């Protein structure tokens, strides 16, 4: 199965802890997007990365959130010092090249902050 | 920023019925995408539309790209129980193809 993979599927953290969400894009895809979905809402763009580069982070909160997509390995979305408002489903999507509008989503990571 | 509007929030239909849902925007989109999300899963791409006026089918699904480029429609014919889910419209915004999503329509199908 060459689909987008995300792990963990569920993550529980206490306030103040760190959350690390991982995303492996589809085989052959080098562009990764992260989105956040709050209950009964649509997905909201957070950040767009290509290998080793952050291209657009206009949707990501300035503090506590960071993302990377190293040369080797999955893309990581990192949330430091989590707060209850960070509880949401986080999805990553991948596409094969720049300007390709169809994005393919992973199953998501459901983050719960206690 | 650009927004996509989907209403109503929920739709309830009988198995076997057809259903139509639309998506509107105050801004022009050059691509319209329709996704379906099952509970606990990620969105799955159903149909992509690239040209104004384009009508595209995928099995029992048919979608149209509005002529004004400010709306799109998705039709599901002869609904079945597995059509239950949330249907999102989406379109790329800006130079980096980041997607803007509507809030989605939750479809329920009564057997």
Per residue in B16-34, pLDDT tens?
Answer: 999 999 999 999 999 999 9
**Residues from chain A contacting residue B45 (CB–CB below 8 Å):** 102-105
* B68's tokens: 């004004």
Give residue B96's pLDDT: 79
End-to-end CA distance of chain A: 34
Residue B92's contacts (CB-CB under 8 Å, 6 or more residues apart) are A101, B29, B30, B31, B98, B99, B100
pLDDT digits (tens, 9 = 90+) for A31-83: 999 999 998 788 999 999 999 999 999 999 999 999 999 999 999 999 999 99
| Inter-chain CB proximity B43 and A4 less than 8 Å | no
| Inter-chain CB proximity A105 and B44 less than 8 Å | yes
Mean pLDDT over all residues of chain B?
94
**Minimal Cβ distance to B43: which of A45, A56, A105:** A105
Phi, psi of B82 (to 5 degrees): -75, 0
| Inter-chain CB proximity A42 and B97 less than 8 Å | no
pLDDT confidence bin for B1, thresholds 50/70/90:
low
| Inter-chain CB proximity B42 and A101 less than 8 Å | no
Residue B6's contacts (CB-CB under 8 Å, 6 or more residues apart) are B21, B22, B23, B87, B88, B89, B102, B103, B104, B105
């Amino acid at each position: 199965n060459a689909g987008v993979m995300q792990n963990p599927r569920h993550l529980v953290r206490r306030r103040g802890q760190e959350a690390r969400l991982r995303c492996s894009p589809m085989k052959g895809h080098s562009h990764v997007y992260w989105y956040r979905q709050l209950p009964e809402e649509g997905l909201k763009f957070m950040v767009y990365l290509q290998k080793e580069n952050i291209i657009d982070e206009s949707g990501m909160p300035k503090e506590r959130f960071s993302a990377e997509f190293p040369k080797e390995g999955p893309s990581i979305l990192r949330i430091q010092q989590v707060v209850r408002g960070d509880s949401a489903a986080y999805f990553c999507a991948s596409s094969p090249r720049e300007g390709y509008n169809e994005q393919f989503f992973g199953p998501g990571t459901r983050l719960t902050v206690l | 920023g650009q927004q996509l509007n989907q209403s109503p929030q929920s739709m309830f239909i009988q198995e076997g019925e057809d259903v139509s849902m639309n998506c509107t925007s105050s801004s022009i989109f050059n691509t319209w995408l329709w996704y379906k999300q099952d509970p606990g899963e990620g969105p799955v791409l159903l149909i992509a539309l690239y040209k104004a006026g384009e009508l595209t089918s995928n099995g029992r699904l048919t979608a149209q790209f509005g002529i004004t480029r400010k709306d799109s429609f998705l039709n599901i014919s002869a609904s079945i129980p597995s059509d239950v889910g949330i249907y999102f419209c989406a379109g790329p915004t800006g130079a980096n193809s980041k997607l803007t999503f509507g809030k989605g329509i939750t479809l329920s199908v009564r057997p």
